[in-house]
Structure formats: structure tokens, C-alpha cells
Amino acid sequence: MASIQIEQNETRAVVRLNEPLTSAFAAELRPRLQEVVATGTTQLAIDLSSVDLVDSAGIGLLIAARNSLAKVGGTMRIIGVSAEIQHLFKVMRLDRHFQIEGIQGVGSPS
């Protein structure tokens, strides 16, 4: 399975990741996300269903994508987030940057 799968339909896009979102993978993903935003996407969803770890480099990349989208009036959601990553996002205050949906749907892990 490819590390990055992109479904793009006019202004909507879903980017599915199949590797831990850490420094090496973030470097590979960065230009792909830039391309998605540059080609007119304003509603972006990043699917982390197959991702078991995100580090600060991955967090930085997600915020950079959100910043780029905000400049064109777009929005971003992170979906399929595991309980541990959801907890990380919460304590790092990322819920102020974008909507975060757990594997079970919107909400925080218990």
C-alpha cells in the first residue's frame, strides 16, 4: 500500500496516510500537501486511521497545512485518530487549530 493516498474532487480532498507521521515521512509528505492546497482544495481531511504515531515534526506539518488553507479561506479536519494520538493532540492544544475526529467519530478519548 502506498504511504500516501490522495482523493481529490474539486475543492475537497482526503489524504490517507499509511506510515507514522514522523520527521522522515513528514519531509516526504510536505510537498504533496502543498500541491493539494495549491490545486484549489479548500476542504481538506487527513485520515490517520493507519497511523500509530505522530511526533512534533508531524504536528508541525499539520499546522503548516492548516496555515496554508486558512490563507485561502479553507478548513482542515484530522480523522481516524487513535486514542493515544488524540490525547497528544489535545494536550498540545491542536484542537484550537483544526477539528479532530477519533476512530469512533468526533470526541475525546476517555
Partner 1 sequence: MKCSTALRLKIPSTLAAIEQLCERARLWLEANGLHEDWFVFMLLLRESLNNAVKHGNGSDPSLLVDCWLRKGLRWLYISVGDCGAGFDWGRFSTHQACYGDTCGRGLEIYRLYADKVIFNRRGNRVLLRLEMRKGKDSGLNSNRAE
How many of the chain's residues bind partner 1 (CB under 8 A)?
23
Q: Are 76 and 44 in contact (CB under 8 A)?
A: yes
76 binds partner 1 per the rule CB under 8 A = no
Buried b (16+ CB within 10 A) or exposed e, 42-52: eebbbbbeebe
Q: Are 13 and 45 in contact (CB under 8 A)?
A: yes
Binding span for partner 1 by CB under 8 A among 3-11, 19-27, 41-49, 72-80: 19-27
91 binds partner 1 per the rule CB under 8 A = yes
The smaller minimum CB distance to partner 1, of residues 39 and 67, is found at 67
59 binds partner 1 per the rule CB under 8 A = yes
Nearest to 109 by CA among 87, 88, 78: 87
> Cell digits for 64?
503548516
22 binds partner 1 per the rule CB under 8 A = yes
4 binds partner 1 per the rule CB under 8 A = no
Q: Give the torsion sign (CA, 105, 82, 70, 6).
A: negative
Q: Provide the minimum distance between the beta carbon of 9 and partner 1 in the complex, in angstroms, as a whole number.
A: 27
Interacting residue ranges for partner 1, rule: CB under 8 A: 22-24, 27, 52-53, 55-57, 59-61, 63-64, 67, 84, 87-88, 91-93, 96-97
